[in-house]
A and B are shown apart, each in its own frame.
Chain A
Amino acid sequence: MSLTTNDPGGRSSAPSRFLWKVTKLLATLAMTFFGLLLVTFLIGRIVPVDPVLAVVGDRASQSVYDKAFIELGLDKPLYEQFWIYLQKVMTGDFGQSFLTKKDISEDILRVFPATVELATVGILIGTILGIPIGILAAVKQGKLADQMVRVLGLIGYSAPIFWLGLLALLVFYAKLGWVAGPGRIDIAYEYSVTQKTGLLLIDSAMQGQWDAFRNVFSHIILPASLLGYFSMAYISRMTRSFMLNELAQEYITTARVKGVPEWRIIWVHALRNAAVPLVTVVALSYAGLLEGSVLTETVFAWPGLGQYLTNSLQNADMNAVLGGTLVIGVIFVGLNLLSDVLYTLLDPRVRRRG
């Protein structure tokens, strides 16, 4: 291998070490994806529903049944079936949905922007609120503010998201009328905005349709705040612990002795060092929002990946369920990887250690 030729005398040079790391990372990634596929394949195998009957219907004759049986490759051994599945998925072919009669990859591409938009607004809210709140809790450790932040977090960890969503709809939509109800956009505006990016906030703003923009915003703000609250609970808790860790370091004492003002110590000296692990936390909670979005989208009738998944589930549309699960799994792995990479890039200590 080229790696070993670059490695005279056992001391690896920087580029080869980098290459080795990338190779190792890619190998791990490939194995994880392989595993994801194996899991979804096996789940698909244990379904008690006969996949042939799902295609031909239960009134088909024996010969039609046998033909479909062979066409689906069910006469082949399991590992060969897995190999076929693997090849199909690699080309983006998850099969057809029984429900929409379309390719699942097409369906997923159509609903995906809605989820991205919701999760992105959610993580923005969660980060913008969570970090200052966490810093406040760390600075006022043990005081009233700290206790309040802790309670806020505990509620976030303990309340079922779908229940809070329903209550929020009841209060802010039905009783107070502050926001628009379920759905992504009112029918009146639905066809006036041409979808380019699929992110309605951006599309409507780019086309200068400010009425539509306001409508979309009024739809998204409630579910996004809800998701934002849950990620805030996590982000503020982690911020607090990172900041406490930094504020106990000796360089902070040095800065204090030098007479650096307290706000500068907190917001510049300590926060800059706490920021590195925080990036990881934000990336991870963005991944967590994907999970929360399944329930949130169901409550708010949000036409995204989560609702697609639950709709397919309730109609026993197994291909769609497994396709959606796989896509979410891949994104989840991708975001985890991204947080690792960011951590390496941002933290000079990790970078140098190699």
Chain B
Amino acid sequence: MSVADTPRREWLLSDQPTSRRQARLGQMYRTWLAFRQNKLAMIGLGIVLLLVLVAIFADLIAPYDPLISGDLRTARLVPPSWDHLMGTDDQARDIFSRVVHGSRLTLMVVALVAIIATPIGLLVGTTAGYFGGWTDTILMRITDIFLAFPRLILALAFVAALGPGIENAIIAIAITSWPPYARLARAETLTIRDTDYIAAIRLQGASSLRIISGHVVPLCLSSVIIRVTLDMAGIILTAAGLGFLGLGAQPPQPEWGAMIAAGRRFLLDFWWVATMPGIAIFTVSLGFNLLGDGLRDVLDPKGRG
């Protein structure tokens, strides 16, 4: 550790922070230190960061064009080699380039589902928990109904109705993802609702909207975020499953699940076409699983098990 680092470290770990900012940063730093101890979680973080970097620099990393066919006479279904790290598919496209570009689609699906489903879950859960009574009963019944379908099946039905395509797949997955977040947010809200500080804010005349958005939601946020991170592997697998069934991204988009489906016809003779995109899905969802497990261990010691 360099000399310049030491005072900053002491400042962060100080027992008597002089400002709120120092306390908060110190808390974050301590969480990071605990997280860093967990090797598997760090591997997960590494994989997720790698995914983000690959998605950003896909154009620079991919040696070939992901959509345009190569020479159909000579470059069709070529096994993995130094020219084509993962071989080529039946359209003579470089599979490695397609996998690299596919990371953008995967990242987009995960990010959009999280952005759509988390606020819905938070809104429904905190509202139900805070108001209680009939509001609670009605909102939670609706949540239960969505939980009553297996997730992939409900997503399938929605995509069937909306029509195949990556946007509709994202909407369908988001619609099926929010109920567990709502349940979690409600449970958290129930423990927060009757605390003294909420009563104090209420006595100051704060509106319900203000209490929920300013004081209840921030307290539920961390556990919901952990849950969303743990869910991301599931989101990726559902999206890949929809793609595999031909209901997600449409050809020639390099979506990993759809690529596996396309490689299925050549499985017995040209194994790499279906295998390579599967390795990508597996690695990324493993990364999110490891990251989520690590986050839960650090931020929510109760959930360990």
Determine if A313 and B148 form an interchain contact, defined as CB atoms under 8 angstroms apart: no
- Which stretch of A14-22, A34-42, A88-96, A100-108 is in the interface? A34-42
Partner of B148, one of A162, A241, A309, A329: A329
Is B158 an interface position by the 8 A CB rule?
yes
Please tell me if the beta carbons of B149 and A39 are within 8 angstroms of each other in the complex: yes
Taking Cβ atoms with an 8 Å cutoff, the residues of A that contact B are: 31-32, 35-36, 38-40, 43-44, 46-48, 154-155, 157-164, 166-167, 169-170, 174, 241, 244, 287-288, 290-291, 294-295, 298-299, 309-310, 313-314, 316, 318, 321-322, 325, 328-329, 332-333, 336
Which residues on the A side are within 8 Å of B282 (C-beta)?
A: 155, 158-160, 163
In the assembled complex, which residues on chain B have CB atoms less than 8 Å from the CB atom of A241? 305
Q: Assuming A32-B144, A162-B241, is B153 touching A329 (CB within 8 A)?
A: yes
Task: Give Cα A162 to B259, complex, Å.
Answer: 12
Q: Of B156, B158, B162, B289, which contacts A309 at CB under 8 A?
A: B156
Q: Which residues 150-169 of B sit at the A interface, judged by CB distance below 8 A?
A: 150-154, 156-163
Task: Give the bracket for the number of chain B residues in contact with chain A.
Answer: 35 or more
Q: Does B9 contact A (CB under 8 A)?
A: no
Question: Which applies to chain A's interface (DSSP): helix, strand, loop or mixed?
Answer: helix
B257 in the interface, Cβ–Cβ < 8 Å? yes
Q: Are B145 and A46 in contact (CB under 8 A)?
A: no
B142 within 8 A of A: yes
- Give A205 to B127 CA distance when docked, in angstroms: 57
> Quick one: which of B148, B159, B241 contacts A32, CB cutoff 8 A?
B148
A-B contact pairs, 7 of them (CB 8 A): A43-B160, A46-B162, A157-B289, A162-B260, A164-B278, A291-B150, A318-B160
A295 pairs with B145, CB closer than 8 A: no
Is B246 in contact with A35, judged by CB distance below 8 angstroms? no
Task: Give the residues in chain A near B150, CB-CB below 8 Å.
Answer: 287-288, 290-291, 328-329, 332
The answer to whether A167 and B233 have CB atoms under 8 Å apart is no
With A46-B162, A325-B154: A174-B148 Cβ-Cβ less than 8 Å = no
Per a CB cutoff under 8 Å, which of B145, B156, B241, B289 touches A36?
B145
Task: Determine the distance from Cα of A32 to Cα of B112 in the docked complex, in whole angstroms.
Answer: 29
Give A291 to B242 CA distance when docked, in angstroms: 13
Q: Which of B151, B158, B240, B264 contacts A291 (CB 8 A)?
A: B151
> Roughly how many angstroms separate A322 CA and B149 CA in the complex, as a whole number?
12
Q: How far is the CA of A288 from the CA of B144 in the complex (A)?
A: 16
> Distance (Å) between the CB of A295 and the closest chain B CB?
5
Q: A160: which B residues are within 8 A, CB to CB?
A: 237, 240-241, 244, 257, 260, 278, 281-282, 285
Query: What chain B residues lie within 8 Å of A313 (beta carbons)?
Result: 156, 159-160, 245, 247
In the complex with contacts A32-B144, A166-B260, A332-B150, A158-B157 CB distance below 8 A? no
